[in-house]
Structure 1
Amino acid sequence: MPPDPAPAAARREVSPLDHRIEAVTGHDVDTLWAHRDRGVLEEPHAQLVDLHRELARAETGVTFYRTLLHRLASGEFPVDGALLERIDRTVDQLEEAASERDAVARRVIAALESIETAARTAPAAGGEAISAADQAALLAIAGGAKLHEHLLTGRMSVATASGTRIAYADLHRLESAGLASRDTGQPVHGGQPVALTQAGRAALLAARRPKTTQVPKAVGRPGAWPSAPAHCR
């Protein structure tokens, strides 16, 4: 009987958590991995991607031993003591790989829930006043902007028509808040157009609108008769 094959380097395994990761970050997993390699992700998302990579490796191990077990039970080998011993060993290895996968999955879920909670509790666009820095970024984007990737370093930033540079992390925060969006159908190296969303325009308008003040009404002394209106003679 041939020895156990070593796990081969295969394509990235898809996990059941991929759709949640893509939903909360707004990017597909492959794009997130690429952004992590370039160092353009914010810390919570970077930690999430690192954990997801661990999960993908653990899922690869589970797939390998499950496939091996299927092969051993397929009838390819004669049923003897060596085969039964090898099946027992593979079952133990599969159980260990599954336990490792489940442990990593729990860590991924914890990181996911933290980001999802932050997204749910973030102030809605137009609800609270945006910061001065975000207001300046939105104002610059409103005049025309594109996301570019540096050919040598791979770093990404937003170049605006006014000449202002916006860091990719700041753009990512504005996108997560639903204030800005970019045309992902265009290549980054050629420049992806960035524009304000309807919520972003509303937030910018609300931030630039002067606040109105109301004169408080005079409150009468408790127990006193209401003042009578002045009569014209």
Structure 2
Amino acid sequence: MPPEPAPTPARRAVSSLDHRLEAVTGHAIDTLWAYRDRGVLDEPHAHLVDRHRELAKTQTGVTFYLRLLNRLSSGEFDVDDALFTRIDRTVKQLQEATDAREAAARKVLAALEPIEAAAAASVLDTKQLSTDDQAALLAIAGGAKLYEHLLTGRMSVTAASGTRIPHVKLQRLEDAGLVVRDTDHPVHAGQTVSLTDAGRAALSAARRTPTTQAPTLPARPGTSPPTPAQRR
């Protein structure tokens, strides 16, 4: 009987909690891992990603022993005492790997739930996120800065796309915890405005929400809106 194959490096294992991490942060798992490697995450998110990596590693172990058990029971090997011994050993190893995965999942949840609670407390309800709010968040996501006019003192946000966002709109989004300004720079020089994790999650949720009403097209000046044809 050939020896048991050793685990080989594979793609990142997918866990049952991936979708929750992506929903609360607004980033794909691979992006979060890359941010962790670059050291750009704050302490709670860095801790969360570290725990998630441990979970992915344990998931890889579970997958390996499941495949090994499937191979042992596939009929490829002679049915003898040696096979039964290997099956028993693999079942025990699978149980240990499963226990390790469950323990790792609990650690992920312990790090994830406070972040989810903070995001839920600060994110506007999707129904309250107007079309203008969505457009403003989308523009800010592409890069934006808050400027103060030296002569008039008026402040507004200018996005990289050229979109201008009123200061009152910025204040509303900022109060809701959806955007944040880089206050280390003076306003007249331009303060970078970016989405928070809550802002990315709110924008992602709003864009996934299907519209239930067709948009109303404005009538041209001097014309009356069309009336529905009467049924005969």
What TM bracket, shorter-length normalisation? 0.5 to 0.7
1:2 maps to a residue whose letter is P
2 CA distance for matches of 1:179 and 1:87? 45
Secondary structure of 2:146's aligned partner: helix
What secondary structure does 1:139 align onto? Answer: strand
1:176 correspondence with 2:191: no
CA contact (8 A) 1:51 1:107 kept: yes
Cα distance in 2, alignment partners of residues 6 and 14 from structure 1 = 20
Give 1:171 deviation, angstroms: 3.2
Moved more, 81-90 or 112-121: 112-121
Kindly state the Cα deviation for residue 163 of structure 1 after the two structures are TM-superposed: 5.0
Aligned to 1:143, the other structure's residue is in SS state strand
Q: Is the 8 A contact 1:58 1:97 kept in 2?
A: yes
The aligned counterpart of 2:32 is: 32
1:5 Cα deviation from its structure 2 partner = 1.2
- Between the aligned partners of 1:179 and 1:55, the Cα distance in structure 2 is 23
CA contact (8 A) 1:124 1:177 kept: no
Distance 1:22 1:123, change over 3 A: closer
Q: Which amino acid aligns with 1:176?
A: A
Where does residue 72 of structure 1 map in the other structure? 72
Across the aligned residues of Structure 1 and Structure 2, the Cα RMSD in angstroms comes to 3.3
- State whether residues 123 and 198 of structure 2, in contact with CA within 8 Å, keep that contact through their aligned partners in structure 1: no
Give how far 1:34 is off: 0.9
Residues of 1 paired with 2:77 and 2:201: CA distance? Answer: 61
2:159 is the counterpart of 1:144: yes
The 1:9–1:87 alpha-carbon spacing in structure 2 relative to 1, beyond 3 Å, is same
- How many pairs were matched up? 156
Q: Residues 89-100 of structure 1 correspond to what in structure 2 (within 5 A)?
A: 89-100=89-100
Shift of 1:110: 1.5
Q: Are 2:53 and 1:53 aligned?
A: yes
**Whole-angstrom CA distance in 2 between matches of 1:119 and 1:180:** 9
Distance in 1 (alpha carbons) for counterparts of 2:70 and 2:202: 49
Task: Give me the whole-angstrom Cα distance separating, in 1, the residues matched to 2:30 and 2:85.
Answer: 40
Cα offset, 1:165, TM superposition: 6.3
The offset of 1:26, in angstroms, is 0.5
TM-score (norm 2): 0.59
Aligned mates of 1:96, 1:178 — CA distance in 2: 38
Counterpart AA for 2:61: G
Contact 1:143 1:162 in 2 (8 A): no
What amino acid maps onto 2:198 in structure 1?
Answer: S
Q: Encode CA deviations 1:57-108: one digit per residue, 9 max, x unaligned.
A: 1000000000000000000000111110000000000000000000000111
CA distance in structure 2 between the partners assigned to 1:180 and 1:117 by the alignment: 14
State the alpha-carbon separation in 1 of the partners of residues 200 and 74 from structure 2: 52
Percent identity between matched residues is 58
Q: Check whether the contact 1:55–1:104 (CA below 8 A) recurs between aligned residues.
A: yes
In the alignment, the residues of structure 2 paired with residue 58 and residue 91 of structure 1 have an alpha-carbon distance, to the nearest angstrom, of: 16
Distance 1:56 1:43 in 2: 20
Structure 1 gap segments, 5+ residues each: 126-136, 147-157, 182-233
Q: Distance in 2 between matches of 1:89 and 1:39?
A: 41
SS in 2 for 1:41: coil
CA 1:7–1:163 in 2, change beyond 3 Å: closer, same or farther?
Answer: farther
**Is residue 171–residue 180 contact of structure 1 (8 Å, CA) maintained in 2?**
no
Distance, in Å, in 2 between the alignment partners of 1:70 and 1:179 is: 40
Q: 1:72 to 1:178 in 2, by over 3 A?
A: closer
